[in-house]
């Protein structure tokens, strides 16, 4: 696979676990290398936008055919 | 009709009571909580019009019997606390789990069945709570004390003060890039993209008013309670007589013979409405959860059922339909919810 090689898989996690796991990662992830979050619960995206903006990251969303989404985080 | 509309709006605006309360603490996110306040404000205006037509002078001691105006006592702090903790653990309140059922969730049925069992706990505690508190707790209907104008000013002042506090204390959400609105993009927004929470709130206030005017106030738990009561009685686990229950306003579990009551139709329509909304947006599919989600759904559901039974309703029947009807009981329940959600948030933070 090309692109970022850190993937946080939050599929099947119920709110608010995806956001909490991503927030923890953002707090400890010092290198600033891009990473991806994969999930299946759409409301999570709004929280991810908020977290990204708060920690100084940009986030782009892609929708996969099977209903999963991928959120690509890059450092601003 | 109102059930389907309610389900559609809940699904589209992600109107989640659990996240409204929980994310204040966990993510410092105020958006959904502001949506609830918008619903209460819009519903108060609507209820005011309906009340005014039915009861010209509210200070005469006649309280509209079908509205969810119930005794306000410490049992609501207990019920709200249990419900608030339960909804955070189960990932949604009762209506939240119903609309997630329409999206294809497999944790939602676990939470809902557990909630049914939780009702048994509520029934068991009822005689004690009723004699100790509920029978003597005051029924406070704000218009009776302050007149319609005074009650509306007071209520909107409370809503406004809470909204101002949220906006002041919690940081602003991310600004969205402006997008030009055309007919097609407008339709896409309504059916495909999520709605902003405040818009869902206003829509829910309007639906709540219509439901009250045409049939009964919005509520989702009386049908679940009725099944739980019927099953519990058949098994000898629930006493035949629940003192005082049938005289109070709210989502009561009334024993009837019909397979589906009016509220049952409402609940079924809610799930169907959510299914339609999810399917139209391409979001429906059977979703498997992680083991942890199922394990949390059980205690969460039990607490939801217990809290909803002793409070005569949930975040819809007691919080929304209570506050919109200017009943103090709705606000006391809200305080309990806030405490319960705070405890749930602290617990989940440890588990993450």
What 3 state SS string does B297-336 have?
HHHHHHHHHHHHHHCCCCHHHHHHHHHHCCEHHHHHHHHH
**Which among B173, B290, B349 has the least Cβ separation from residue A20?**
B349
- Beta bridge partners of residue A60, listed in sequence order: A72
User: Which range, of A51-60, B125-134, B181-190, B306-315, averages the lowest pLDDT?
Assistant: B181-190
Percent of chain A whose predicted confidence (pLDDT) is above 90: 41
Give residue B73's pLDDT: 96
Beta-carbon separation of B287 and A40 below 8 A: yes
The helix-helix angle for A17-28 and A44-55 (nearest 10°) equals 20
Residues of A within an 8 Å Cβ radius of B: 12-17, 19-21, 23-24, 40-43, 46-47, 49-54, 67
State the ipTM, two decimals.
Answer: 0.87
User: How confident is the model at residue B258, as a pLDDT?
Assistant: 66
Asked if B132 reaches chain A (Cβ–Cβ under 8 Å), the answer is no
Mean pLDDT across chain B, nearest whole number?
89
pLDDT score, position B197: 79
d(CA B298, CA B18): 16
Interface membership of B97 toward A (CB under 8 Å) = no
Q: Do B91 and A15 touch (CB under 8 A)?
A: yes
- Residue B188: pLDDT band (50, 70, 90) is low
Q: Which residues of A touch B173 (CB under 8 A)?
A: 50
What are the pLDDT digits (tens) for B76-100? 999 999 999 999 999 999 999 998 8
**Chain A contact for B13 (CB, 8 A cutoff):** no
Q: pLDDT tier at B204 (50, 70, 90 boundaries)?
A: very high
Tell whether B172 lies on the interface with A, counting CB pairs under 8 A.
no
Select the residue of A13, A24, A67 nearest B290 (Cβ to Cβ): A13
Nearest to A15 among B19, B171, B283 (CB): B19
| Most confident listed range (A53-67, B173-187, B308-322) | B308-322
**The pLDDT of residue A1 is above 50:** no
Residue with tokens 């389900």: B7
Report pLDDT for B284.
85
* pTM, to two decimals: 0.91
What pLDDT, on a 0 to 100 scale, did the predictor assign at position A5? 77
Torsion, Cα of B183, B282, B99, A13 (10° steps): -130
- Interval B229-258 mean pLDDT: 81
CA–CA min distance B30, chain A (Å): 11
Q: Are B106 and B92 in contact (CB under 8 A)?
A: no
């Amino acid at each position: 696979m090309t692109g970022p090689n850190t993937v946080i898989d939050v599929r099947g996690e119920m709110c608010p676990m995806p956001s909490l796991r991503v927030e923890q990662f953002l707090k400890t992830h010092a290198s600033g290398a891009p990473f991806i979050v994969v999930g299946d619960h759409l409301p999570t995206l709004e929280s991810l936008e908020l977290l990204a903006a708060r920690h100084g990251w940009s986030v782009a969303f892609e929708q996969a055919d099977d209903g999963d989404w991928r959120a690509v985080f890059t450092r601003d | 009709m109102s059930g389907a509309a309610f389900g559609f709006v809940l699904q589209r605006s992600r109107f989640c009571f659990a996240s409204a309360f929980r994310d204040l603490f966990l993510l410092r996110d105020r958006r959904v909580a502001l949506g609830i306040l918008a619903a209460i404000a819009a519903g108060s205006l609507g209820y005011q019009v309906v009340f005014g037509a039915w009861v010209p002078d509210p200070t005469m001691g006649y309280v509209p019997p079908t509205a969810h105006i119930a005794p306000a006592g410490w049992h609501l702090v207990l019920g709200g606390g249990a419900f608030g903790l339960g909804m955070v653990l189960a990932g949604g309140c009762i209506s939240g789990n119903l609309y997630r059922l329409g999206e294809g969730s497999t944790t939602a049925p676990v939470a809902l069945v557990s909630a049914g069992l939780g009702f048994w706990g509520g029934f068991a505690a009822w005689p004690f709570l009723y004699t100790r508190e509920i029978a003597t707790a005051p029924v406070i209907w704000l218009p009776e004390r302050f007149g319609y104008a005074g009650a509306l000013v007071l209520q909107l002042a409370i809503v406004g003060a809470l909204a101002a506090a949220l906006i002041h204390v919690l940081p602003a959400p991310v600004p969205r890039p402006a997008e030009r609105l055309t007919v097609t993009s407008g339709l896409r927004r309504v059916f495909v993209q999520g709605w902003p929470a405040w818009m869902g709130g206003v829509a829910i206030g309007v639906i709540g008013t219509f439901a009250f005017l045409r049939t009964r106030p919005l509520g989702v738990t009386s049908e679940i309670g009725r099944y739980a009561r019927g099953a519990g009685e058949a098994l000898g686990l629930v006493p035949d007589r629940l003192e005082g229950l049938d005289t109070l306003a709210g989502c009561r579990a009334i024993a009837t013979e019909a397979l589906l009551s009016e509220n049952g139709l409402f609940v079924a329509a809610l799930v169907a409405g959510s299914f339609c909304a999810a399917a139209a947006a391409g979001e429906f599919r059977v979703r498997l959860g992680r083991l942890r989600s199922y394990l949390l759904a059980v205690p969460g559901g039990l607490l939801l059922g217990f809290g909803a039974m002793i409070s005569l309703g949930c975040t819809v029947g007691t919080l929304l339909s209570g506050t919109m009807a200017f009943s103090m009981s709705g606000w006391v329940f809200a305080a309990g919810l806030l405490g319960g959600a705070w405890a749930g948030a602290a617990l989940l933070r440890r588990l993450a």
